[in-house]
Amino acid sequence: MIKEAIQYIVGLGNTRVEEVGTQIFSTQKLHKVDESTTEAIEVHSLSGLVEYLQSEFDGNERLMMHVKSPTKVSCFSSFNRDLNRNFLIKANAMLPSFNFDRWYDSEDFNIKLQSCFVKNEDRDIMLKVVGNIKEEAVNTVGDDGVSQAVVAKTGVATVANVRVPNPVVLAPYRTFVEVDQPESEFIFRMQSGPSCALFEADGGAWKLTAMQNIKNYLHAALEKEIQSEKIVIIA
């Protein structure tokens, strides 16, 4: 066993490579040694991403930034000799939790509207409807398939049929807080319980707007680095 090991080690120093016809052969099996790559730092804001790049902490090689989605941005180098990239830093947005296409009871829905959506006119109208609906009258609902009417408080001691706004234009927190939250249309529905739900109605077009907002933010924050061609941004 020891003799075979010694012969193997000695043989390593006598490796030859020969070309026979159109084929290349070696007297020993060769193993590829991969060039090492970096593990990306993770941050949760665009400002943290910008601060890292401006610090040139890990050098000043030319980099590309990729806006992958409304919640993800990564920064990487060009190919190394193995056609792999060094990913230096990535940003993942931290967002409040709201599930579309899910029914919430009126109290939870009221809280979610105030904590997960940017204040605008339609949000305020919905808050008034949801906050004043009469529980004993939730089954008295008019519905023509598009709009609804529910019995809700309209004064200190009065109730009346109130039209439920539909569709509504809202701006949920769905991307990094440093950029404008895109507005889009939602279908707002209510049912007995009382419970409420929002259904997306823009086909996901808001994602393109959010990604462009991120790209514009990065262009403005890294204008000097972009002009000197140290950084390229794609979305």
Is 112 found in the same domain as 52?
no
Q: What is the dihedral of CA 15, 21, 24, 26, to 10 degrees?
A: -30
Q: Which residue has the higher pLDDT, 220 or 165?
A: 220
Give phi and psi for 159, each to the nearest 5. -130, 155
pLDDT at residue 8 above 70?
A: no
Domain that holds residue 7: 1-94+204-235
pTM: 0.77
For residues 31 and 12, what is the distance between their CA atoms, to the nearest angstrom?
Answer: 12
The residue with tokens 């000097």 is 224
Residue 99 belongs to a domain: no
Give the whole-number percent of the chain exceeding pLDDT 90.
49
Q: Which amino acid is at 164?
A: V
Regarding whether 209 and 195 lie in a shared domain, the answer is: no
Contact between 189 and 199 (Cβ < 8 Å)? yes
Report how far residue 87's alpha carbon sits from residue 40's, in angstroms, rounded to the nearest whole number: 5
Examine the domain organization and report whether 121 and 168 are in the same domain.
yes
- Assess whether 177 and 208 both reside in one domain: no
In the chain, how many domains are there?
2
Q: Are residues 196 and 161 in the same domain?
A: yes
**pLDDT tens-digit readout, 116-136:** 999 999 999 888 888 777 665
CA atoms of 152 and 45, how far apart (whole Å):
41
Asked if residue 211 belongs to a domain, the reply is yes
On whether both 120 and 178 belong to a single domain, the answer is yes
Shared-domain flag, residues 142 and 117 = yes
